């Protein structure tokens, strides 16, 4: 009871502890976000810790990318490897002396031991246990070796690991999201906590770090739920307090399977590079498991820091619906100031080889982005939506020029009329362009016997001639941006298709 009281009276401190063995997973990004929001809502501290004890797979470039992507999202930490803090260092490879001290404590109190069992023997025993319907666990072969036997094996150069003695007991804890949870520790078997005194493994290092950094609440994904009993037992063995746990629901694919790297883009940077905005991703991710209790769907990060509550996080898995993300991202794209949106779109056009320096003025580029933004779901869409503005010659099927029941002769006549109407324009202005063309729809319909109010017989062929696409902005907007010369050249090119 005293230890529970100790946690209750602690300052709120949470942590996000990624492993730099690859890019930041979208699920990890959500975990970081929930920790950040919980800390902000409760006037606590958000700690960023790098768990890089896997020396073979950890790389500095992944650490750098993780930090960069979190900053891009707008998530800021109060302590971390780049800014320091009172409980550092914040990279596990810089904390090996701390872990060694606590490993030695376990040995001194006979709560850990060296295990010399070969991996192939352990695997054979696991297979045998499963074949008999038993839970696979270590059988404790090395648990009671004498000090003399251990020293002899060590001197002979036998490979070993350090195992923690798991007591045969029930482990109970209260989860803020899932309520009361109980595990039978007797099913676990003694677990490996270190390769040696200088090389701790995950379960041990994370327990020591959380204690040393005074972490009060551990908010993490549901996939870590089974780890909690092991970590609580290590906490008890080392006489540490127990942090409060909250396990977030799994993120699921549309078919309700768990999201994995084998099933498409799952790295935060993938979405960044595709042109999803950070505010859209934050908004989308928080709704994967959290329900505000209202119909509201659009939240800024600042609003979330006020409205977020761990009590409203659901237990059931959260489906990653890309259509919903596209909707939210499209909303934020339409809300952007055109100058800023154009700045965001420019790199995609350059990478596609469409935007050559000096070819298009800033004002014209802003017009191109403006007429394209309503159909943009992500920034990279600008390439497909607006490529025709930058091309000298368009390639498309001439049948695309036909509207409804039109035949070749009707299309040619419509384009010739457009050319005539636009040639007579004294001022090349979108309002004048629209006025003269709208007037021309009645003239064409009357000559051809088309329905009186159907404007498609004139405007559809023109729009396709100018864009080469089935879907595009209006012909008035396109002509205004292209200018007189380019507009009339594209009309002439379309007419030639019917020569």
Catalytic center residues: 261
236 contacts: CB under 8 Å, gap ≥ 6: 242
| Spatial CB neighbours of 423, under 8 Å, sequence gap ≥ 6 | 488
The whole-angstrom separation of Cα 151 and Cα 376 is 68
Q: Which residues contact 11 (CB under 8 A, 6 or more apart)?
A: 44, 45, 214, 216
The DSSP symbol for 36 reads: H
Residues 276, 378 contacting (CB under 8 angstroms): yes
Provide the b/e sequence for 211-235 (b: ≥16 CB within 10 Å): bebebbbbbbbbeebeebbbbbbbb
3-state secondary structure of 241: coil
The H or E element that residue 472 is part of is none
Token couple for 87: 């409980």
Residue with tokens 């695309």: 400
Measure the CA–CA gap between 176 and 150, rounded to whole angstroms.
43
CA-closest candidate to residue 381, choices 278, 276, 477, 265: 276
d(CA 126, CA 135): 8
Residue 105 near residue 238 (C-beta atoms within 8 A): yes
Q: Which residues pair with 425 in a beta bridge?
A: none
Note the helical H segments in 26-92: 26-41, 60-73
Instruction: Report angle CA 216, 217, 218 to the nearest 5 degrees.
Output: 130
């Amino acid at each position: 009871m005293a230890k529970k009281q100790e946690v209750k009276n602690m300052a709120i401190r949470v942590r996000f502890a990624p492993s730099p063995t690859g890019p930041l997973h979208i699920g990890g990004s959500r975990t970081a976000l929930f920790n950040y929001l919980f800390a902000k809502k409760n006037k606590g501290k958000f700690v960023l810790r790098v768990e890089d004890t896997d020396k073979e797979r950890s790389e500095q470039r992944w650490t750098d990318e993780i930090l960069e992507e979190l900053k891009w999202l707008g998530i800021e930490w109060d302590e971390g490897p780049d800014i320091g803090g009172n409980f550092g260092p914040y990279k596990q490879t810089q904390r090996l002396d701390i872990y060694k001290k606590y490993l030695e404590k376990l040995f001194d109190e006979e709560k850990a031991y060296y295990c010399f069992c070969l991996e192939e023997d352990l695997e054979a025993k696991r297979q045998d246990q499963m074949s008999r319907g038993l839970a696979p666990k270590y059988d404790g072969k090395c648990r009671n070796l004498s000090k003399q036997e251990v020293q002899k094996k060590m001197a002979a150069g036998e490979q070993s690991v350090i195992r923690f003695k798991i007591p045969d007991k029930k482990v109970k804890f209260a989860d803020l999201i899932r309520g009361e949870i109980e595990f039978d520790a007797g099913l676990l078997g003694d677990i490996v906590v270190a390769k040696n005194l200088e090389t701790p493994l995950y379960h041990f290092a994370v327990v020591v770090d959380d204690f040393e950094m005074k972490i009060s609440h551990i908010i993490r994904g549901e996939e870590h739920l089974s780890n909690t009993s092991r970590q609580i037992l290590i906490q008890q063995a080392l006489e540490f307090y127990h942090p409060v746990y909250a396990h977030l629901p799994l993120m699921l694919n549309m078919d309700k399977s768990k999201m994995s790297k084998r099933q498409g883009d799952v790295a935060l940077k993938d979405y960044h590079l595709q042109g999803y905005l950070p505010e859209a991703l934050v908004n989308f991710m928080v709704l994967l498991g959290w329900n505000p209790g209202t119909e509201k769907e659009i939240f800024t990060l600042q609003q979330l820091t006020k409205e977020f509550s761990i009590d409203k996080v659901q237990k059931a898995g959260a489906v990653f619906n890309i259509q919903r993300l596209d909707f939210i991202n499209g909303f934020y794209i339409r809300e952007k100031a055109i100058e800023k949106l154009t700045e965001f779109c420019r790199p995609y056009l350059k990478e596609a080889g469409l935007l050559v320096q000096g070819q298009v003025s800033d004002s014209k580029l802003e017009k191109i982005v403006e007429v394209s933004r309503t159909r943009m779901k992500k920034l990279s869409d600008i390439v497909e939506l607006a490529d025709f503005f930058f091309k000298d010659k368009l390639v498309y099927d001439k049948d695309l020029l036909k509207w409804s029941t039109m035949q070749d002769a009707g299309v040619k006549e419509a384009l010739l009329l457009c050319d005539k109407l636009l040639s007579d324009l004294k001022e090349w202005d979108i309002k004048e362009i629209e006025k003269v063309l709208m007037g021309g729809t009645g003239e064409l319909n009357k000559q051809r016997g088309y329905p009186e109010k159907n404007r498609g017989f004139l405007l559809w062929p023109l729009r396709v001639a100018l864009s080469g696409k089935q879907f595009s902005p209006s012909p008035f907007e396109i002509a205004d941006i292209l200018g007189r010369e380019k507009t009339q050249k594209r009309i002439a090119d379309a007419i030639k298709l019917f020569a």
